[in-house]
Structure 1
Amino acid sequence: MEKTEISSTQLTEIAHGLEESKVSFLWVVRKNGIELGDEFEDRIKERGIVVKEWVDQKRILEHEIVQGFLSHCGWNSVLESISAEVPILAWPMMAEQPLNAKMVVEEIKIGLRVETVYGSGNKFVPAESLKNKVKELMEGENGDKVRKKVKQVAEAARNSMMEGGSSWHTLNQLIKEIYLQNQPKK
């Protein structure tokens, strides 16, 4: 599987954007990803946490305090975010991520998209642009809209999984078809 490397310049822009947004955040970075320096962590310590080890993303998204998720829009991340009723700030990088981001933002309307210097995709996101989109997601009118919408979508997803729901019904049909295909012919 392809692996996307984010440049140290881009990581610095992310740090500045998060710091300047003045919103609370948890930022997970690879241990070898970037040295942000003690000064950065001192400046954000009242509202930000930088984690340099593996975390259980699903558990974090399910925490009641989490109100937004900057995501590359891998399918599992999208599903976890919907299940946790957390809107997405979409920043797709590769593979199916741009298509997933388009679905998240334009089709089911449960997220916003970062603005890149060169348009959409995995182009550079300046600190100012990230700051503005984070603030919009967390405090703006569009953020309120996607927060309400993701709750509706999560409820619909839960209902589809309940007995008699559409996913439950479809799974039962699949099991029945497989069973019938494996019966001896008369």
Structure 2
Amino acid sequence: MKPRWIRWLDEKLEHKASVLYVSFGSQPDVSHEQLEEIAFGLEESSVSFLWVITKENWDLPEGFEERVKSKGIVVREWVDQKEILMHESVRGFLNHCGWNSVLESVCAGVPILVWPLAADHHLAAKLVVEEIRVGLRVETSDGSVRGFVRREGLKKTVMELMEGEKGKEAMKKVSELACMAKKAVEESGSSWSNLESLLQEMCVTEGEGKI
């Protein structure tokens, strides 16, 4: 049987609803005040969402899940992220911009709403938004890249990603890159050829006794 969140996505697809996938990985350090703003921002948007929470101490506002049950689902267990991103109903990804998540999102053809939190996230976010242009950045209250995100700013950028012109542009670009990525791993594709060349070189080097 399919996991309940995949069945939920299937239902959204039947109703032609576009879903925002929300996940900040397993390591983020987010304050309770910031968590509440995320919840209320999602609630006040008109967007359907699937929010995966892996932190045991993250408590959502009282009554939140009941109020959003017609458009949102909260999952507190391990999920196959790639399977979710590849689902046809998923049209956006709100994420901390960890590199694995970026790669999975681009390969799935899903634009990203970046919210860098730590480490190399900020460099990855800059690449996503400014260089390859497959996503947008959340709006902070003070305009800085590390500022607090209020519900109004989150609602605004979520809706822009899912329904606005900038979101459509990001979708077009990420779809192009997803097509390129698919071709790269096909037999005779660039990734396939590079791996084959590496293996051949290693075999030659080993035969010469160099490794």
Q: TM-score, normalised by structure 2?
A: 0.81
Partner of 1:96: 120
SS in structure 2 at match of 1:93: coil
What's the offset of the Cα at 1:120?
A: 4.4
Partner of 2:20: none
Amino acid at match of 1:18: L
Query: Which of 199, 202, 205 lines up with 1:175 in the alignment?
Result: 199
Amino acid at match of 2:159: K
CA deviations over 1:72-131 (Å, ceiling 9, x no partner) = 111110111112111100111112211111111111111111122344444311111000
Q: TM-score, normalised by structure 1?
A: 0.91
Separation in 1, partners of 2:104, 2:32? 28
C-alpha spacing 1:134/1:142, structure 2 compared with 1 (3 Å): same
What's the offset of the Cα at 1:53?
A: 2.2
Retained in 2: the 8 A contact 1:31–1:53? Answer: no
Query: Which of 62, 85, 95 lines up with 1:37 in the alignment?
Result: 62
Partner of 1:68: 92
User: Gaps (5+ residues) in structure 1?
Assistant: none
SS in structure 2 at match of 1:148: helix
Retained in 1: the 8 A contact 2:35–2:60? Answer: no
Amino acid at match of 2:195: L
Matched ranges for 1:15-164 at <5 A: 15-29=39-53, 30-38=55-63, 40-164=64-188
What's the offset of the Cα at 1:46?
A: 1.0
Separation in 2, partners of 1:89, 1:167? 27
Identity %: 55
Moved over 3 A (4+): 118-122
SS in structure 2 at match of 1:67: strand
CA deviations over 1:121-154 (Å, ceiling 9, x no partner) = 4431111100000000000001111111111100
